[in-house]
Amino acid sequence: MPDALDATPYDALLLLSFGGPEGPDDVVPFLENVTRGRGIPKERLKEVGQHYFLFGGVSPINDQNRALLDALRKDFAEHGLDLPVYWGNRNWAPYLTDTLREMAADGRRRILVLTTSAYASYSGCRQYRENLADALATLRAEGLEPPRIDKLRHYFNHPGFVEPMIDGVLRSLADLPEDVRAGAHIAFTTHSIPTSAADTSGPVEAHGEGGAYVEQHLDVAELIADAVRERTGIDHPWRLVYQSRSGAPHIPWLEPDICDHLEERHAAGVPAVVMAPIGFVSDHMEVLYDLDTEAEAKAAELSLPVRRSATVGADPRFAAAVRELITERAAVERGQEVTPCALGALGPSHNLCPVGCCPARAPRPAAAGADSPYA
Ligand SMILES: CC1=C(CCC(=O)O)c2cc3nc(cc4[nH]c(cc5[nH]c(cc1n2)c(C)c5CCC(=O)O)c(CCC(=O)O)c4C)C(CCC(=O)O)=C3C
Ligand SMILES: [Fe+2]
């Protein structure tokens, strides 16, 4: 086997995700897990519960992660990368702590973590690092020797993440009626977060209006829009907009919301919109409900033709990107020179979250960062 497919010093990959309910009885306990201590109004929770009940109480996210696990294992096997893959979630079974306990029992000592979040933010990065620190503390309290954990760098600008989304937008444009296609605008969407969380996202030097969170999404949006222009010869105007706002109404979150944006585009005479959910790794509930149900209903009310483009999901190019990120990071840990792969203006993200990256409201231990107690 060539050197590049050596994962040493790592002995396992952990896919770390959000988790979702798998039946009606799971919905309320799942939402309690998600919102524990996070100050989400009761009304909002009831409403979000209804989104899940509309789909039989089942979030597609777990099956999508199972498909990603299959794609990763297949890719690793085909390329001779001998690295076992595990899966654990923040909010639903298989729970992260149970998976880490199993990994420790299997003798895994150096674990690399892949999160199903491509960008910097408290929710998408540090909160997962806090979950890892909590799980490690539990193992330690149980008298188990906790493994050492590193997290793969943010992959928002990796070609294996961006290219499937370019294809998705091209497919959605092609799927629009011909008479509105050339004039279509692209609405890149991501999860809204409190502006205070956006402004402090990423390393301290990226803090400022919108922080690394907005900056990274704008980088991806521009990459996709440029590629679409190159391949179609048409300059489709675009904007980064937000969805899935939560929290109390008096706290500012990133705007505009996709539904307001559709209204505004319609009023401006735009003939069609492609909604491209670049903030998400799979077509989970935020996509199925907030875009395919709510935003589609708004568009129907406006008689505005819209299409929603696909997320990467289990695309083989994404699986290959994960393999490349693993072998790249492993080489770094072995002290070898590597050229990290990244598109766009921002360049490859840091391997180790620096101190002050995506701070929490109340500081808590977080694993796999420069400020980690057991890094
Ligand atoms: C940045 C971000 C991502 C993208 C990065 C990533 O993927 O990590 C993301 C993903 C997801 N969010 C999800 C679900 C929920 N998020 C909620 C609440 C919140 N999300 C937030 C942010 C994010 N969320 C925030 C700041 C809150 C407020 C509460 C808090 O400060 O923590 C709530 C509570 C109800 C509500 O208020 O909406 C639910 C149910 C699911 C699962 C979908 C499924 O089941 O298929 C996924 C993948
Ligand atoms: Fe969320």
pLDDT in tens, 79-125: 999 999 999 999 999 999 999 999 999 999 999 999 999 999 999 99
Provide mean pLDDT across the span 188-208. 98
Q: Is 61 in the pocket of ligand 1 (CB under 6 A)?
A: yes
Residue 2, pLDDT > 80, answer no
Q: Is 312 in the pocket of ligand 1 (CB under 6 A)?
A: no
Residue 23, pLDDT > 90, answer yes
Q: Are strands 85-89 and 110-115 parallel, antiparallel or unpaired?
A: unpaired
284 is in an annotated binding site: no
Q: Is 34 in the pocket of ligand 1 (CB under 6 A)?
A: yes
Provide mean pLDDT across the span 14-21. 98
- What's the 286 CA to ligand 1 centre distance in angstroms? 8
Which ipTM score applies to this complex? 0.94
pLDDT band at 4 (very low <50, low <70, confident <90, very high): low
pLDDT of residue 146: 93
pLDDT band at 374 (very low <50, low <70, confident <90, very high): low
Tell me the percentage of the chain whose pLDDT exceeds 90: 93
Nearest CA to ligand 1 atom 31: 38
**Residues 59, 60, 65, 70, CA torsion sign:** positive
Task: Kindly report the average pLDDT of the chain as a whole number.
Answer: 96
Residue 1, pLDDT > 50, answer no
All domains in the chain, ordered by first residue: 3-155+314-333 (3.40.50.1400), 159-308 (3.40.50.1400)
Provide mean pLDDT across the span 28-34. 95
Provide mean pLDDT across the span 179-204. 98
- What's the 138 CA to ligand 2 centre distance in angstroms? 25
Distance CA 55, CA 65 (A): 18
Residue 178, pLDDT > 80, answer yes
The pair of three-digit structure tokens given for residue 19, joined into one six-digit string: 């988790």
Tell me the percentage of the chain whose pLDDT exceeds 70: 98
pLDDT of residue 122: 97
- What's the 229 CA to ligand 2 centre distance in angstroms? 31
Q: Is 156 in the pocket of ligand 1 (CB under 6 A)?
A: no
Mutation to probe ligand 1, out of 17, 18, 89, 284 (largest number of atoms < 8 A from CB): 18
207 is in an annotated binding site: no
pLDDT of residue 373: 73
- Nearest 5°: phi and psi at 307? -135, 150
Provide mean pLDDT across the span 10-30. 98
Residue 318, pLDDT > 90, answer yes
Name the maximum alpha-carbon separation found in the chain.
67
Q: How far is CA 152 from CA 90, 232, 245, 333, 351, in A?
A: 17, 34, 27, 12, 7
pLDDT of residue 5: 87
Distance CA 146, CA 202 (A): 27
